[in-house]
Structure 1
Amino acid sequence: MRASGDHGFLGEFTVTFRLLSRSKLKSRGMMPEIVRRLTTIFAGDVAGYSRLAAADEEGTVSRLRALRQELIEPVIAAHSGRTVKLTGDGRLIEFASVVDAVRCALDVQRGMTTRNANVVPDRRIEFRIGIHLGDVIVESDGDLMGDGVNIAARLEGIAEPGGICLSVDAFRQVRDKIALEVFDLGDKKLKNIARPVRVYRIDVGAGRASSPAAPDARKPTLALPDKPSIAVLAFENMSGDIEQDYFADGIAEDIITALARFRQFHVTARNSSFTYKGQAIDIKKIGRELGVRYVLEGSVRKAAERIRITAQLIDAESGNHVWADRYDGRLENIFDLQDEITNTIAAAVTPAFATAEMQRVSRKHPQNLDAWELTLRAGQSFALAGPADIAEARELAQRALLLDRQNTAALAMLAFCHVSDGWWAYSQSPQASIAEGIKAARMALQEDNSDADALASLGYGLFAARQFDEGLDVLRQAVALNPNLANGFARYSSALAFCGDYEKAKEAFNSAIRLSPRDPRLGNWLAQVAIAPFIAGRYQEGIDYGRRAVQSNPSFMGGHRVLAGNLSASGQLEEAQREVAEMRRLVPGVTVAATRWLPFRDDEARERYCSALARAGLPE
């Protein structure tokens, strides 16, 4: 008996009933014998149903009903299937034969291909199907329960829209009986299933009785997306130990998840990139078939109690290596090691990826740039951080938005430019510039509220506007949403620094540096974190940060300013005066009054900083 959740007598009876042992229930005739059978389970549902229903609920329901009546139910009947139950947009079907189940799935998916031919992509109803041969428990009402059902449902969950996934048990029954093109996806750890299951994907377009598709038709060259694109292949297990397959797949899957958090990147889903597992690798061919510019591949090798991971990022157009590295570790805690290596590779790949894109764009004529490339160049100018650089970055971001008003990366960059104009007092009206920055950041989040960089730009703007608590909270959200976002940690670090939280500011700054150790914005980041030791009265540490900032970016006024403030406060007035002179050479209009716009949370710290600069010769 299932728990009803009712209260009162029935609920009390249900609880008491469950406390009785199975043997006592049987002896009292209150529990039937468990009925099992080996059967084929077909689980299917609509991919992206929630999105379709949100856009047009009544229309989606109406089209789904028509599909059931005109296609799905007749096909199920033709292949002797029994619908066990409907689950909203999904269906569980039982077949006596795996061959019948697979033929039914192929007819459904091919029928949907025909029906979707003239439907725009975002309105297409597409099914995902999982098929498993397994032992199930048969309920008195005909329902089926147990791991056999659960495995089929999990296979459906990892199938692509319009795709079919089989368990190895199902595959063995059809491999010599139906002409199929099947891809071995390897052993997969399915949610809530104790043991990994070997999974196979059927090429729905292959194996037709008439007019078989040519290879080029089945796997066309895809156009590159309008932003940098990458596919992460399944890492190769070089150990000769099948157990390490799970570890190798886990590394690659986690890297895909980490990279996908960067909304400005196009990251191919694992269901596509893992189809090349076990095949001879032709990077240029993979790039064409998946429509990506870069491919990340790697390998895992186990020896005794140690494991070695290699990874390399390759330009799929030229075949040239962009980046490669090797990681070694002990197997004492393999899951901690997996997390560590995943984070390290993701952190290394991201700046290498961005650097390769920047080098590619720098070879193009400025008049031939699209929205993404204009945004990329804006980021390059922004990193230099001078008044003219920020102005150029702002103009490039605005050009990108003329081409694509929904470009969240360009909107976030525009936000950073406006806020920086106010933060560094480059603007004649810092308050108005910061307000413009907040406006641009909110526009970016209206387009995509899960864009971590847009969140960081909003948090940065709110903090600059002295909405300290809200700004800190939004910056925390940004780094939680994307733990690999170096710029997010850097902006969070600067906000903590101006709050006087030296230790947390250092921690966030170190996270940014670990993620992007050669970042061109380093001078800017160092200049902002150097405020924290000033507030704490640890001026020598502030001087150390300030000197690193000036060394990293000598043309950035902010680095000279924070160095001058710490030098003056520590009594090193002559050197502080030289730094003030350099400040005024770089930005002739900089004054003590403009410095008061910096978002110190503590008024005493602000006045102490301004006084130190005044003593070093900065005019009021």
Structure 2
Amino acid sequence: MVRKLAAILAADVVGYSKLMGSDESGTLSSLRSFRNDLLSPLLERSNGAILKSMGDGWFIEFQSVTDAVSCALALQDALENQSPIQLRIGLHIGEVTITEEDIYGDGVNISARLQEMAAPGAIVISDAARGAMDGRLSSEFQNFGAQDLKNISEPVIAFGRGMEAAPAAAKNDRRDGTSKPSLAVRPFKSLSRDEDQEFFADGIVEDLITAFARFRWLSVIGRNSIFAFKGSDTSSSYLAAELGVRYFVEGSVRASPSRVRVNVQLIDAKKNKNIWAETYDRPQGELFDLQDEVTRSITGVLIPALSKAEMDRSMRSNHPKLDAWQSYQKGLAFYYRPFSVEDHAEARLHFDLAIERDPNFSDAYAMVALMGAYSIRSGQTSYTSTADEIIAEALQAAEKAVLLDDSGALAHIALGVVKCWMGELDVAVAECQTAVRLNPNLAQAHHELGFTLNHAGQCADAVSCFDEAIRLSPNDPARWNFYLLKGSMLFAIGDFDEAIDCLNQSARLRPAAFFPYVFLAATYIEMNDDLAAQEAVDQILKRKVGLKLENLRTVFGKAPAEHLVRAMKNLEIAGLPA
């Protein structure tokens, strides 16, 4: 039995039974010609191999998604108007198990379901496949949003080429109640020119996203993806297709020193219909009760069978003091900006002020811990302390966060990240797994679980974590990092072509980042392409002047996994200074 990650293309002959019924010998002759004259030469050029032939269809394995897509495009273009043979093609990258009797796994199952959705002559691919392919090819495909696939537990975001419209079986079109409603909360409009009120409105949205994300019965788009559209007049129907969701929460906020008025509405983007709306006018001291009421109301509309007890279990167990919450929101605003020393220092100042105003505010301690750990991990910081001093403070803050709110996903993420840097990998993995269980819609939780699995050497498992982070936050400004880490995992498990594709995607998304080139150089050494590896090192030093291997050893932590040690050895071979 062989188990591996692979790009799987599923192809099916359209109307095979009808063709055989009307002209059996002619159909068999056409299939032989197709196989010998078109399919086999294309597979040889694209490094493809047939895993299973079914008479009217094939499962084909490729070494890279780019090769698979290139082959699929060439097949459909060659068959168009020139052959009685028409194909439906589906493509996914996923785990596949190969035995002497058959092939199994998500790579096979999902590619087969996507093939069933395709129109004659069309290609339908998964979001995971699109994310791993060459960027020039990805523009060929139209976003069809999240799809419910038969016998597949989670929805899959699909992209199509050669189809005028999305397939009919779109996610949430099913009426049997088994699919998760998909939801995004758009940034609320602040009806004030006061910058503090802008923070206030963003804070309400942030809290609503967090509240909805705790419901495992919903599929909720991450904060960073939706805030990428802040200030945009983009239509909800466009965003629905872009993000793969059906429902949007929209609203506006007007606040005075003593009161807050919030207008909220729930929109079905598919039907372009407002299905719920409410206006709240409350004293500011009741802000968190207002947020809870909004969450319960909207969740009740989307999932009528959800009991009050289930709702209560998913709601936040405690609320911070209002002035502490406002300071925390200002801290997040500075924290999420592109890095500068000034903004980093400003974020820390506001998180410290939030703790001063409410010493029981778990999330504020968690952010202090994450700031410390990330400052060491990224090499970007406003701190003047030593690495040991920074991590000691981060550990203390993370442990305090968990002590104050053991049900908070952010607290467990913070403790997991710090423990990972300290080399306590079993604890780190367990903490991040707890965060995923507490908040299954939080892209950051899946990302950090993947990161800790990376350091623990559990690389194949880590790939699926980064895929889930990308699904939950498809427009995240930090998704370059999702692709970077996924690429490093593919390097670790020996899927070098896929690693190159993923790392190049990361580099395209963040041209100023040097880390994609770190693993590109390491991967090219494995592929015996010394020239490409040296060019990647040149790109590293162009973006991070003076970087040395000893800097990477600090970033990788005190107990780097085998593949990280191997990457550093390869970088030395490629010419990165020691």
What TM-score, normalized by structure 1, do the two folds share? 0.41
> Which protein has the larger Cα radius of gyration, Structure 1 or Structure 2?
1
Larger RCO of the pair (alpha carbons < 8 Å, separation 6+):
2
What TM-score, normalized by structure 2, do the two folds share? 0.44
